[in-house]
Amino acid sequence: NTDFAVFAVQYNKQGKVLSKIDLQKTGYRRGVAVDTRRNQVVISQTTRDWDTPRGEVQVFRPDGTLLRTVGGTWMGSFASLLGQEGMKQPQYITVDGEGNILASDSENHCVCVYNEDGQFLFKFGGAGSGKGQLWYPKGICTDSSGNIVVADRGNSRVELFDNLGRFLKHITTDVERPQAVAMATQGQLVVTDHQM
């Protein structure tokens, strides 16, 4: 019964199935990225612990073998003091040129950054509409300089941050509900806008 099947499929250029990665059914949307340096598939996942969403990123080999899980929720005030409470609802993800995993966490209004081995590095953003703040961030990508582009859906803009998460500028504010972003090879930015 395919109504309950949840998986990611990897195809070759001719459309032939290379592998299928079985995933847990969660009822949440997922993001996917590929770490081309390490030949790994990176997929976001959100589950629920009681009433609280719990987000993480799973890293797989191309054959579907789970290598590690990144960014699971820590409970307690100690984690909060460290700024490492964990993600609630990561959806859009990317892998930068250094192999770092970046996930936009829409429920926490931030972007979480992990190194290639899954260790938490930092997060940036935070709820609000000021410079560098985010409100329900969605799409995320990086440019050739390592800068981070974020579709700030709730604030109807696209933001640019440096590779350490410091705000640089608003790229555009003439979008209604930016959803996904991608950077072309010549530096052109492509944005999808979900207008109501």
With bands split at pLDDT 50, 70 and 90, how would you rate the model's confidence at 73?
low
pLDDT above 70 coverage of the chain, percent: 90
State how beta strands 157-161 and 189-193 pair. Answer: unpaired
pTM, to two decimals:
0.89
pLDDT digits (tens, 9 = 90+) for 1-57: 344 458 999 999 999 999 999 999 888 889 999 999 999 999 999 988 777 888 999
Q: What is the mean pLDDT of residues 125-139?
A: 97
